[in-house]
Chains A and B, each alone.
Chain A
Amino acid sequence: AQSVTQLGSHVSVSEGALVLLRCNYSSSVPPYLFWYVQYPNQGLQLLLKYTSAATLVKGINGFEAEFKKSETSFHLTKPSAHMSDAAEYFCAVSDLPDRGSTLGRLYFGRGTQLTVWP
């Protein structure tokens, strides 16, 4: 099974500062990678995804992530944090489907809670 590790369960930044949320994956084959955001008591919303096209992926709300195969990483960044970015962020990996199935499962990290200080 694939796995995802998110370093740091809580990250705090000041408004206007750089946001860096870390994600490392384990996969024996080229994976698909995703970042989702969750606001309190809501479902998850896709921020961006990597599907082996460009290694630098731009998403919504000014976020971007870079796929680095040598480091097995897919860190999420935003140059300037905004108060509205405060939420929980999840990294996920999708591997190839098991034999006999056409479903590639998503494996989620434990999440990183981002706090933005005024």
Chain B
Amino acid sequence: DGGITQSPKYLFRKEGQNVTLSCEQNLNHDAMYWYRQDPGQGLRLIYYSQIVNDFQKGDIAEGYSVSREKKESFPLTVTSAQKNPTAFYLCASSWRTSGDPIRDEQFFGPGTRLTVL
């Protein structure tokens, strides 16, 4: 089955530790995204990537880092510089039609809930 997987589902981190959230897709999508979700705030874009080896900051990139070494994978690292990392993190991906901008629907993974102890 095609889809997006995120692991782990629940993650606990001690203050001062870096943690990496995994996101893998087998939909052959070009673009991938990371969002942070906090209660009552909707989804806020952290980073996005249109192609392999390229990515751009979203609205709240401070304290986060990403890589895009493979088309299928877009891991997110939450660094110790992120002051309030407890949140629900969602990964998404979308098509890129040749010659057209990426404006089509985004497909979402099941999410990772990160809690800082």
Residues of A within 8 A of B107 (CB): 46
Picked from B35, B40, B42, B102, the residue with its CB within 8 Å of the CB of A102 is B102
Q: How far is the CA of A104 from the CA of B45 in the complex (A)?
A: 13
The contact string, 1 if C-beta is below 8 Å from chain B, for chain A 3-36, is 0000001000000000000000000000010101
Q: Is B48 an interface residue (CB 8 A)?
A: yes
Q: Is B85 an interface residue (CB 8 A)?
A: no
Q: Is A41 an interface residue (CB 8 A)?
A: yes
B41 A110 Cβ-Cβ under 8 A: yes
Give B40 Cβ to nearest chain A Cβ, in Å: 6
A106 B106 Cβ-Cβ under 8 A: yes
Q: How far is the CA of A105 from the CA of B31 in the complex (A)?
A: 11
A105 B108 Cβ-Cβ under 8 A: no
Give B30 Cβ to nearest chain A Cβ, in Å: 9
Which of under 10, 10 to 19, 20 to 34, or 35 or more describes the interface residues of B? 20 to 34
Q: Which of A66-74, A76-84, A93-101 contacts B (4 or more CB under 8 A)?
A: A93-101
Residue of A nearest to B105 (CB): A46
Q: How far is the CA of A41 from the CA of B56 in the complex (A)?
A: 27
Q: How far is the CA of A100 from the CA of B44 in the complex (A)?
A: 22
Residues of A within 8 A of B48 (CB): 103, 105
A44 B108 Cβ-Cβ under 8 A: yes
B2-17 with Cβ < 8 A to chain A: 4, 6
The contact string, 1 if C-beta is below 8 Å from chain A, for chain B 83-97, is 000001010100010
Q: How far is the CA of A48 from the CA of B6 in the complex (A)?
A: 24
Chain A: residues with CB nearer than 8 A to chain B? Answer: 9, 32, 34, 36, 41-46, 49, 51, 90, 94, 96-97, 101-106, 108-111
Starting from the known contacts A101-B101, A103-B102, A108-B35, 8 additional A-B residue pairs (CB-CB under 8 Å) come to A43-B90, A43-B109, A45-B108, A46-B107, A103-B56, A103-B101, A106-B106, A111-B40
